[in-house]
C-alpha cells in the first residue's frame, strides 16, 4: 500500500470508474435538459462503450513499446483535456455525440 505507483494506479482507476458511472447516470438527464432527442443520449453511451473497447485494445498494443504508466497518464490526461473543451461549449447534438 505504500508504493506511490500503486496508489496512483488506483487513483486513476477510481477516476475512470467514477467518470463512466457519472456519465451513465447523468447523461440522459442532461440530454433532456438541453432539449435534444433521447436517441442522442443513447447513441452517445453506445459510442462511449465502443471507444472504450477500441481504446483498451490500442492501449494494450502500446504496452509492447511503452511503459504502462506513461500510457495511462496520456489516456487520463487527454480525457480530462477533452472534458474541459466540451464543458466550455454550448450543448447541441454534435457535442453530445
Residue labelled with grid coordinates 442532461: 30
Q: What is the mean pLDDT of residues 13-20?
A: 78
Higher pLDDT: 33 or 60? It is: 60
- How many of the other CB atoms lie within 10 Å of CB of 44? 20
For the packed helices 38-62 and 4-33, what is the interaxial angle rounded to 10 degrees? 160
pLDDT grade, residue 35 (50/70/90)? confident
Share of the chain above pLDDT 70, in %: 90
Q: What is the DSSP letter of 89?
A: S
Q: Which residues contact 63 (CB under 8 A, 6 or more apart)?
A: 71
**Percent of the chain with pLDDT strictly greater than 90:** 11
Amino acid at each position: 500500500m505504500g508504493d506511490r505507483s500503486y496508489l496512483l494506479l488506483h487513483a486513476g482507476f477510481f477516476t475512470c470508474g467514477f467518470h463512466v458511472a457519472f456519465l451513465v447516470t447523468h447523461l440522459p438527464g442532461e440530454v433532456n435538459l438541453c432539449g435534444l432527442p433521447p436517441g442522442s443520449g443513447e447513441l452517445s453511451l453506445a459510442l462511449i462503450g465502443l471507444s472504450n473497447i477500441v481504446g483498451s485494445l490500442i492501449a494494450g498494443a502500446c504496452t509492447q513499446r511503452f511503459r504502462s504508466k506513461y500510457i495511462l497518464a496520456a489516456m487520463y490526461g487527454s480525457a480530462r483535456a477533452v472534458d474541459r473543451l466540451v464543458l466550455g461549449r454550448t450543448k447541441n447534438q454534435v457535442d453530445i455525440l
